[in-house]
Amino acid sequence: MIPNRMHRHTWIGKRVAQRETADRLSARLAFGADLRPDGALVVLPVLGGQANARLVGLDLDAARSLPGVQAVLLARDVPGYQPPGEAPILCADRIGCATDAVALVVAESAPAAREAAAALQPEIAPDPEWCVPADPLDAAGLPSCRIAELRFERGGEIDRCFAQGVQVAERDFRLPVIPARPDFNAGACEPDAQQRIVLRSASRDPRADKERIARLLGLPEERVRVEAPAGGGLFDAADPRVGLRLALACQHTGRAVRYLQPERAPGPARSLQIRLGLAAARGGRLSALCLRLILDLGAYATREQASEALRALVIQAAGPYRIPCVRIEALAVRTTHGVWSGPAEAFYSLACTALESQLDALARKLGANPLTLRRDNLLEAEQESPAGIPLAGIAGGAELTRALRRSKLYSLRRQRKRTRADLPPALARRVRRGVGLACHLCPLPASGSTGLALTLHADGGARIELGASDWGRAICTAVSLLLAERLDIDPERIEVSAGMSEVSGAELSGAGGMQPMARAVEEAALAAERALGQRARDLLGWPPGAVRLRAGELEGPDARRAGVDRLIGPEGLRVQACASSPETFCLGAHVALVELDELTGELAVEAIEAHLDAGLPVNRSALERIGRAGCALGASAVLGTGPGSSLDAPAEIAVSPIAHGGRPARGLGGAPIASAAAAVLNALADATRARGQPDGLQPGELPVAQSELAAGSGEAS
Amino acid sequence: MSVPIQLVIDGKQAAFEVGYAERLVDTLREKAGLLGVKRDCGRGECGACSVFLDGRLVSACLVPSIQADGSEIWTAEGLSREGRLADLQAAFSELDAVSCGHCTPGMLMAGEALLRQYRRPTTEQIRHGLAGNRCRCAGYDRYVAAIRKVARRRAARRTAEP
């Protein structure tokens, strides 16, 4: 499926199974909820259950007197500092979100904890002084609920630009408030022999969690250690308060504790609203974009988080096209929804859908082929996006267009094969086929920095400890390939552990992606070579000069060589490296083939192709896996909610990296998902185009309501 | 109040004291120590706790432990024998049908149930058979491919057998 262009590499570009695959398959891999320290107490949060409310009372005596109950902790038991506005580890009085906790029960067993939680009977009263709306549109009208704004205008008067060209009217796109996914995150925490609190819980950024725990518990940072085990779910919400609560209970009781998720529906998730209009000159050059966006950030978000989230969405909604006249108004608002109530892929999907759906509508007005319209307007590398961002390190539009021209699915559109050849004519007439295309531009944030520790062993093997956590161990596998390539050793001889907030006292930053990771590997290899070069000069009398480590041998000046066993003792050689990377972007596209049953209105996504620019694809297996997941998640964003099911998933998925042109290794971010849903919706419009309905069915809401599909299929027939 | 129950789990006899409202998933995880049976939604939506109960695929979070008294239970941990992966696990590995691995035990049990129900399941039958198992990493197409592959291999083996 992916052409092998990696001739000059030994390990990079290979198809390698991720680490721990055997443990995953034999059900032996322990996730946070599977950790059972000896004699661990159980920690169960008691939720407030309603927003805009005040905690009036709790029956503490009743709960504490029950057998097996060790403690009932309240906000006043948090010894350290919690800044105002940060999501509270426990609510003191005001409750901003229904899933906020008002108390923590610490008990000997799960039944005892549940009994105590029931006995607490929290008395919650509505708080008339604190009326944050649930609806983001209502929140947008309240200055107190506006967290961040992003306004951008260039290229002159937008109304004039719209009046002069061929335009598609502004349309609304909506991600309504849908049920949030339950948070499966759990974990365990225990004191160790050095009087430290050691937390093991899925974490997006172990280093940041460590800082937060130390601040909240009033401890010096060296008294806290975070080790993130494997996390469940590619896009798990991972509320960091889980770890904070565990650490609080551990500090309070001095014993090992483990987390029990409360059995409660997670409440509604955050939503997004977009209004987008486009205009083009008669020749097909895009001339104007008008974008309005309201992002619901839930009950707690800092201005910094809000600005970052807005910027990422605006970049995606404004797309990878040259548009001279732009007006963008984006607003992030506070509501009563859960902060970590995902689903992130739905946000990416809607941002991309708004633009790409309007582009197809514009192509129809212009009488242009959708691919031609995109080809004529796609940005090239180093050009500025409509959101005013110079695009560094991306594949250009020409490369993407070349990839799309080779698309097997898109050729079906050109051939106008709109009915199924494999069905009898009577049935085939009832199944309408459509092909849709959508491009995306996704930012990979510049905040991704990472640290790692590299230990070289005398036998030529190596060990890497990563600061970043890694859900599926994809980065662990990729790092072993990068180091194996750099040092010319077998990746099997490289041990990798991830999710450490520190390694032997040395701080490692976390949350890094592939790009800083690749840089950190190179920095660590260079540091190891410098250290070995010095040892070679000291021990073997080598002259000064450049050295290089390859296949367990140090190559030095005058063709000198020495095995590392002569330079490294049994303790090994240990170096550390830290690297960050500038913001970069993923450009790509999806092509989808859908079938709509005219009788039932049932929509099936038959096939999706993903064309993704991953830079240097380090592990082709991981790239394909993530790309396939993106296609399935995009389809399920259209067909249903959440990660969907096997019935939503496309029957055929193909993932192709765009020719990399020597770009460095980097991750994919949200790119595998971003335009998949948009391509499906454009395919739906293509399938339902009919006389009297030239634009076809163009739903503006994700997921698409079955009633809308049924009505649309009827009109098409 | 607790009640004694007897189970045969992955071929081994076990006895437990269980509460009236206790679910099988909790007995298996907390008392039998089978942490490969995942507990996610707790309401039969995700399939992460799928096990065989007397040969039938069930969501262990929906089964009262008392109801399982005297039953034979097979979990994903019982699929591999003496450290060797079963054919379905091997196919998952070959086709890279493993992402984070959280849904994998339930998905394997659902796959095995399908293979017992149909000798040569069609893609549609597999997709419907897996509909009760949610994968957050959305690797469904690989699960379907892996199950089809095992079905073909088992069919070939049956044909080759005298």
**Looking at residue A473, what is its pLDDT?**
60
- What part of A 221-280 touches B (C-beta under 8 Å)? 230-236, 263
Phi, psi of A618 (to 5 degrees): -70, -50
Rounded Cα distance, B68 and B50, in Å? 14
CA distance B125 to chain A (A): 10
Q: Given this chain, do its domains A21-27+447-580 and A351-363+371-444+583-716 carry the same CATH topology?
A: yes
Q: Which token pair is B162?
A: 């005298």
Domain span at residue B107? 87-160
Shortest CA distance to A355 belongs to which of A387, A391, A398, A393? A387
- What fold does the segment set A351-363+371-444+583-716 form as a domain? Aldehyde Oxidoreductase; domain 4 (3.30.365)
CA distance B22 to chain A (A): 10
For residue B26, which residues of chain A lie inside 8 Å, CB to CB? 110
CA distance A18 to chain B (A): 8
Phi, psi of A31 (to 5 degrees): -95, 175
Please give the sequence-ordered ranges of beta strands (E in DSSP) within A155-196, or none if there are none: 166-175, 187-191
Q: Which token pair is A403?
A: 């990839």
Q: Does A133 touch chain B (CB under 8 A)?
A: no
Domain closes at, from B44, B78, B112? B78
Q: Which residues does residue A287 pair with via DSSP β-bridges, in sequence order?
A: none
For residue A236, which residues of chain B lie inside 8 Å, CB to CB? 136
Low-confidence ranges of chain A (pLDDT < 50): 1-6, 234-235, 505
Rounded Cα distance, A508 and A528, in Å? 18
For residue B104, which residues of chain A lie inside 8 Å, CB to CB? 24-25, 27
**Looking at residue A269, what is its pLDDT?**
75
Is B142 close to A650, i.e. CB distance below 8 A? no
CA distance A364 to chain B (A): 33
Contact assessment for residue A410 and residue A398, using Cβ atoms and an 8 Å cutoff = no
Shortest CA distance to A374 belongs to which of A318, A317, A442, A437? A437
**Looking at residue A5, what is its pLDDT?**
44
Query: Average pLDDT in the B91-104 region?
Result: 91
Q: Please check whether residues B139 and B100 belong to one and the same domain.
A: yes
Q: Please check whether residues B97 and B73 belong to one and the same domain.
A: no
Terminal-to-terminal C-alpha distance of chain A: 37
| Minimum CA–CA partner of A26 in chain B | B77
* A94-95/A187-191 β-pairing: unpaired
CA distance A632 to chain B (A): 6
CA distance A232 to chain B (A): 5
Domain boundaries, chain A: 21-27+447-580, 351-363+371-444+583-716
For residue A36, which residues of chain B lie inside 8 Å, CB to CB? 35
Rounded Cα distance, A440 and A629, in Å? 16
Q: Does A30 touch chain B (CB under 8 A)?
A: yes
- How many CB atoms neighbour CB A707 within 10 A? 9
For residue B100, which residues of chain A lie inside 8 Å, CB to CB? 24, 230-234, 471-472
* A146-154/A123-126 β-pairing: unpaired
Q: Please check whether residues B110 and B52 belong to one and the same domain.
A: no
User: What CATH architecture applies to the domain A21-27+447-580?
Assistant: 2-Layer Sandwich (3.30)
Q: Looking at residue B155, which CATH number applies to its domain?
A: 1.10.150.120
Select from B35, B137, B141 the Cβ nearest to the Cβ of A233.
B137
Is A624 close to B144, i.e. CB distance below 8 A? no
**Looking at residue A505, what is its pLDDT?**
46
Q: Which residue has the higher pLDDT, A466 or B31?
A: B31
| Minimum CA–CA partner of A185 in chain B | B40
Rounded Cα distance, A72 and A252, in Å? 10
Select from B26, B41, B138 the Cβ nearest to the Cβ of A633.
B138
Q: Does A651 touch chain B (CB under 8 A)?
A: yes
| Minimum CA–CA partner of B100 in chain A | A472
Q: Please check whether residues B71 and B136 belong to one and the same domain.
A: no
Q: Which residues does residue A190 pair with via DSSP β-bridges, in sequence order?
A: A198
Contact assessment for residue A478 and residue A484, using Cβ atoms and an 8 Å cutoff = no
Q: Please check whether residues B53 and B97 belong to one and the same domain.
A: no
**Looking at residue A161, what is its pLDDT?**
85
Residue with token string 């020597």: A662
Is A646 close to B130, i.e. CB distance below 8 A? yes
Is B102 close to A20, i.e. CB distance below 8 A? no
Select from A230, A233, A625 the Cβ nearest to the Cβ of B136.
A233
Q: Alpha carbon of A82 to those of A53, A106, A281, A333, A339: distances in Å?
A: 20, 22, 54, 22, 17
Is B98 close to A24, i.e. CB distance below 8 A? yes
**Looking at residue A681, what is its pLDDT?**
95
Cα A271 to chain centroid distance, Å, stands at 17
Is A184 close to B126, i.e. CB distance below 8 A? no
| Minimum CA–CA partner of A633 in chain B | B138
- What part of A 610-629 touches B (C-beta under 8 Å)? 621, 624-625, 628-629
Query: Total structural domains in chain B?
Result: 2
Query: Average pLDDT in the B22-43 region?
Result: 93
Q: Please check whether residues B32 and B91 belong to one and the same domain.
A: no
- For B64-73, the pLDDT digits (tens) are 999 999 999 9
For residue A21, which residues of chain B lie inside 8 Å, CB to CB? 93, 98, 101
- Please say if the pLDDT value at position B30 is more than 50: yes
Q: Please check whether residues B45 and B17 belong to one and the same domain.
A: yes
| Minimum CA–CA partner of A647 in chain B | B127
**Looking at residue A498, what is its pLDDT?**
78
**Looking at residue A454, what is its pLDDT?**
94
- How many CB atoms neighbour CB A54 within 10 A? 18
CA distance A362 to chain B (A): 33
Is A184 close to B35, i.e. CB distance below 8 A? no
Cα A234 to chain centroid distance, Å, stands at 8
Number of residues that make up chain B:
162
Q: Please check whether residues B98 and B52 belong to one and the same domain.
A: no
| Minimum CA–CA partner of B85 in chain A | A26
Is B98 close to A632, i.e. CB distance below 8 A? no
Q: Please check whether residues B67 and B22 belong to one and the same domain.
A: yes
Domain closes at, from B21, B47, B78? B78
Q: Select from B46, B141, B143, B144 the residue whose CB has the most chain A CBs within 10 Å, as the one to mutate to test that interface.
A: B141
For residue A470, which residues of chain B lie inside 8 Å, CB to CB? none
Is A23 close to B140, i.e. CB distance below 8 A? no
Q: Please check whether residues B111 and B138 belong to one and the same domain.
A: yes
Rounded Cα distance, A710 and A298, in Å? 33
CA distance B162 to chain A (A): 32
Is B92 close to A645, i.e. CB distance below 8 A? no
CA distance B156 to chain A (A): 24
Q: Does A417 touch chain B (CB under 8 A)?
A: no
Select from A26, A236, A653 the Cβ nearest to the Cβ of B80.
A26
